[in-house]
Amino acid sequence: MRTDVLVIGGSAAGIMAAVTAKKHYPEKDITLVRKEEKVLIPCGIPYTMATVDGPDNNLIPDAAVTGKGIELLIDEVLEINRENKRVSLKTGEEIAYERLILATGSKPFVPPIKGVELDGVFTIQKDFGLLETIKNRLDASKNLVIVGGGFIGIEFADECRKGRDIKVKIVEIMDHVLSLVCDDEFCLKAENKLKENGVEIYGGIKVNEIIGDNQVEGVRLSNGKELPADIVILATGVTPNIDLAKKAGLECDVKKGILVDEYMRTSDPDIFACGDCVEKPSFFGRNFEAGRLASIATNEGRVAGANLFELRREKQASIGIFATIVDNQAIGVAGLTRKQAEEAGIEVVVGKAEAINRHPGGMPGASKLGISLVFKAYDGTLIGAQVYGGYSVGEFTNILGLAIEKKMKAEDLATMQVGTHPALTASPIAYQLINAAEDAVSRL
């Protein structure tokens, strides 16, 4: 078999790369190979435990690919022959390509804890059958321990408690959940909401051992305390899946991923890569790490797909734009926290504002919305933002991410033009983003 463009990987990055390639080069034959029968919406995985009632309701339809004129193959690529520009499939077939895109994703990081192999201990993967197994196991369990208090950990904690008679505990090695991405005041907002809903949190402590014979029975902490558990979920991060790329001799870094340039080209000019499998340079320089997110993966897919036969787009270094929600408390983060900036030696000024997100406050949907903006002290450039409140937090965070990317200053935000409406936003007098910037201007 021969194709002009071959995409390996069928999740967010692979799909977007293939679709973008077809838009920019409609005359080219494009084929996507993935090994999964069903593809999950990555960010919806925690919600399969309760809100959407199973992984069947969290799928990306095949039509997202086939409906765009792209050929879809369910198979696994075992080897890439760069010299002959061919790949070998598990079924024994070979595919010749003109351009290749690697979108092989990431793998769960499994910490070196004794007992991780016990029955009832799970990592979180984009695996339909695995998620069904976890959901069924939760339905029959009384005690769940989640190791890791990042976004995935707290989202699973919030979801797994819903509709079940189960005790949920989070063990986090940092002092608070979300400590790697939020300043303490925002971490505490998430913790307090989790605790309100019965989730126990053990912060500033690590898991020494997962105990049991064949079946998990509990978790032993570094202070000697034992927590009962008949199911354990490891939410301890991911590592790039570079196995295929390394085997093909492409330049890789074990921790960072496949090395690519600003056009998403690998060390082989006919092979591009995007998504969780590639390195993620930070917008803020080498002292910082960028996360692996579906939003970043799709952005990279749009760049890779457009550049296959003519360089048309450049990938910007990753700012890091996150959002999550616990019960009805949303938290969003863009860029650096105050803590991250100060630890890197950046002197900052922080502006804050809080107000009701409707006017008057008796309007339906009214709730508090607060913003914290982090600016460089020497020139007032925005480098970070954190938001908490209701459902508008996600879009607020996206706008602030754009403001960071465009290097807007406190004065720019304090004088920005906005539209307001009683049923949709805070009052123009109390508009949080502008008032937080104004707060910072007074300190600069």
pLDDT at 211: 97
The verdict on 343 and 359 lying in the same domain is yes
Q: Is the pLDDT of residue 290 over 90?
A: no
- Does 80 reside within a domain? yes
Number of compact structural domains in the chain: 3
140 and 214, same domain (yes or no): yes
Query: Which of 236, 265, 282 is the last residue in one of the domains?
Result: 236
CATH assignment at residue 89: 3.50.50.60
b or e along 198-211 (b: 16 or more beta carbons within 10 Å of the residue's beta carbon)?
ebebbbeeebbebb
Task: Give the Cα separation of 442 and 444 in Å (integer).
Answer: 6
Residues 186 and 41 in one domain: no
Residue 139 in domain: yes
Spatial distance between the Cα atoms of 430 and 356, rounded to a whole number of angstroms: 8
Residue range 102-122, pLDDT digits in tens: 999 999 999 999 999 999 999
Query: Average pLDDT for residues 49-59, to the nearest whole number?
Result: 96
> What integer best gives the mean pLDDT of the chain?
96
* Same domain? 183 vs 285: no
pLDDT at 281 over 90: yes
Residues 333 and 358 in one domain: yes
pLDDT at 65: 97
Residues 96 and 245 in one domain: yes
392 in any annotated domain: yes
Least confident of 15-19, 243-247, 289-293: 289-293
Residue 140 and residue 210 share a domain: yes
Q: Check if the beta carbon of residue 149 is closer than 8 Å to that of residue 141.
A: no
Same domain, 16 and 43: yes
Specify the higher pLDDT residue, 350 or 254: 350
Q: Could you tell me what percent of the chain has a pLDDT over 70?
A: 100
Tens digits of residue pLDDT in 162-190: 999 999 999 999 999 999 999 999 999 99
Task: Record the tokens describing residue 28, joined without a space.
Answer: 């080219």
Q: In the listed set 204, 236, 268, which residue is the last one of a domain according to the structure?
A: 236
Split at pLDDT 50, 70, 90, the class of 286 is confident
Residues 161 and 258 in one domain: no
My answer on whether 53 and 93 are in the same domain is: yes
Please report the DSSP string for 39-51 in residue order: EE-GGGGGGGGTT
Q: Is 138 left (phi over 0), alpha (psi -120 to 50) or beta?
A: alpha
Question: Do residues 229 and 245 both lie within one domain?
Answer: no
- Residue 171 within any structural domain of the chain: yes
Q: What is the pLDDT of residue 357?
A: 94
Q: Is residue 15 part of a domain?
A: yes
pLDDT at 289 (0 to 100)? 84
Residue 261: partners with Cβ closer than 8 Å, 6 or more residues away: none
In a domain, 311, yes or no: no
Predicted confidence band at 141 (pLDDT cuts at 50, 70, 90)? very high
414 is in which domain, residue-wise?
Answer: 321-441
What share of the chain has pLDDT > 90, as a percent? Answer: 97
User: Quick one: 44 and 118 in the same domain?
Assistant: no
Tell me, yes or no, whether 177 lies in a domain.
yes
- CA–CA separation, 110 and 398 (whole Å): 31
**437: domain CATH number?**
3.30.390.30
The pLDDT-based confidence of 42 (bands split at 50, 70, 90) is very high
319-335, pLDDT tens digit by residue? 999 999 999 899 999 99
Both tokens of 39, joined, read 């593809």
Is residue 359 in some structural domain?
yes
At residue 264, φ and ψ (nearest 5 deg) are 70, 25
Tens-place pLDDT, residues 253-267: 999 999 999 999 999
Tokens standing for 85? 């520009």
Chosen domain end from 306, 336, 353:
306
Give the distance, in angstroms, between the CA of residue 165 and the centroid of all CA atoms in the same chain: 29
